[in-house]
Amino acid sequence: MSTETDSSQAIRLMLAYLCVATEKEASLERKVEILDKFELADAEIAKICSSALQSIRNARHYNRKHGKKSKKSR
């Protein structure tokens, strides 16, 4: 497996940020659900969401426990 360069990593983080930037009213759990599609680490998601690392872990646990929600069910 090849390693990512700094520029491709930065681009991936920017794209991930843009995906949740339009979800201003979304809960942290919803943002984590969206960002999980980018296969980001907890620390990367915490940076994008401006949240504590433990908050991201809690949101992931919540999503596992309660299942993922589609937009139609909201």
The model's pLDDT over 32-60, given as tens digits with 9 standing for 90+, comes to 999 999 999 999 999 999 999 999 999 99
Banded model confidence at residue 72, pLDDT cuts 50, 70, 90: low
Which residue type, as a one-letter code, is found at position 35? Answer: L
Predicted local distance difference test score (pLDDT) of residue 1 = 42
Averaged confidence pLDDT in the chain: 87
Predicted structure pTM score: 0.78
Residue 16 confidence (pLDDT) above 90: yes
Q: How far is CA 37 from the centre of its chain?
A: 8
Banded model confidence at residue 22, pLDDT cuts 50, 70, 90: confident
